[in-house]
């Protein structure tokens, strides 16, 4: 299924979300951000999906935020319609119930790296470059580059990219823990799907809960993750069944504290 500039394909238990704006190296604009949100909802709501892969069509994963999409915005619009909107979409992807694997088939710069950063696993092709060049434009990384990426990659690595403007090769990025594996050019999607099959073989409930618990431990998603874990636990209790039954039957509930 195609949602504007993002294509979603499901094969068995694996969903592939493909950024589809190849003529712009999949640079992100407001339409693509909205399409990513719709794609995330589609993946989330498909009970058969256990793993998702995110990649880009053509030569690029994502060249980041499309400068033409935001350069002319007034400061207030830039802060709300661009930065905060992007944050919401990236958070949506980072908190998918299923693991997300980024197949970096091309450069991941600026917002493109921030997008790759929402994934649980990143597999990069050997020719790509990775960095946060925003300060060279008088801008800062605005889609969690100084927040989520610090938690996931470490503050010093982010300093080198954001303050020093360093651009890393795939091998350098792997050595720094920014990506998890490097493969030959053209092989990232296949490698991502191979790793996705590895995840599919594991217990889906255990994988989902483990992802939530890791988010709690890393300090990324304490409130949402704790409530989700608690809700899953309570939803399996006899007390919940009794509570719903008593409500529909209009009688006092007879809770037993049964798990």
- Catalytic residue numbers read 114, 134
Integer Cα distance of 30 and 221 in angstroms: 25
Q: Which residues does 165 contact at the CB level (< 8 Å), separation at least 6?
A: 131, 133, 135, 136
In the block, which residue shows the tokens 């949100």?
Answer: 37
In terms of residues, how long is the chain?
A: 259
Q: If we measure between CA atoms, which residue out of 201, 177, 200, 181 comes closest to residue 191? A: 181
Q: If we measure between CA atoms, which residue out of 90, 112, 83 comes closest to residue 40? A: 90
> How many CB atoms sit inside 10 A of residue 85's CB?
16
End-to-end alpha carbon distance in the chain: 41
**123: helix, coil or strand?**
strand
Q: If we measure between CA atoms, which residue out of 167, 199, 169, 165 comes closest to residue 185? A: 169
Query: 206-237: buried (b, 16+ CB within 10 Å) or exposed (e) per residue?
Result: ebbbebbeebbeeebbeeebeebbeeeeeeee
């Amino acid at each position: 299924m195609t949602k504007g500039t993002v294509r979603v394909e499901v094969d068995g238990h694996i969903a592939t979300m493909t950024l589809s704006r190849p003529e712009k190296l999949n640079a992100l604009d407001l339409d693509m951000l909205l399409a990513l949100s719709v794609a995330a909802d589609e993946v989330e709501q498909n009970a058969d999906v256990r793993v998702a892969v995110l990649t880009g069509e053509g030569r690029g994963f994502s060249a980041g935020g499309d400068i033409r999409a935001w350069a002319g915005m007034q400061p207030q619009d830039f802060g709300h319609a661009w930065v905060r909107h992007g944050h919401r979409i990236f958070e949506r992807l980072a908190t998918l119930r299923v693991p997300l694997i980024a197949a970096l088939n091309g450069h991941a710069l600026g917002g493109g790296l921030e997008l790759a950063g929402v994934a649980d696993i990143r597999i990069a092709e050997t020719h790509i470059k990775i960095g946060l060049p925003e300060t060279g434009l008088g801008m800062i990384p605005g889609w969690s580059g100084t927040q989520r990426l610090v938690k996931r990659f470490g503050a010093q690595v982010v300093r080198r990219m954001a303050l020093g403007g360093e651009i890393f090769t795939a091998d350098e990025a792997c050595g720094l823990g920014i990506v998890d594996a490097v493969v030959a050019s053209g092989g990232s999607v296949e490698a991502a799907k191979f790793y996705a099959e590895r995840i599919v073989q594991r217990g889906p409930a255990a994988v989902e809960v483990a992802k939530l618990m890791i988010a709690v431990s890393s300090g990324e998603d304490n409130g949402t993750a704790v409530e989700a874990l608690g809700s899953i636990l309570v939803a399996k209790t006899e007390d919940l069944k009794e509570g719903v039954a008593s409500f529909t039957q209009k009688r006092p509930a007879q809770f037993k504290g049964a798990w």
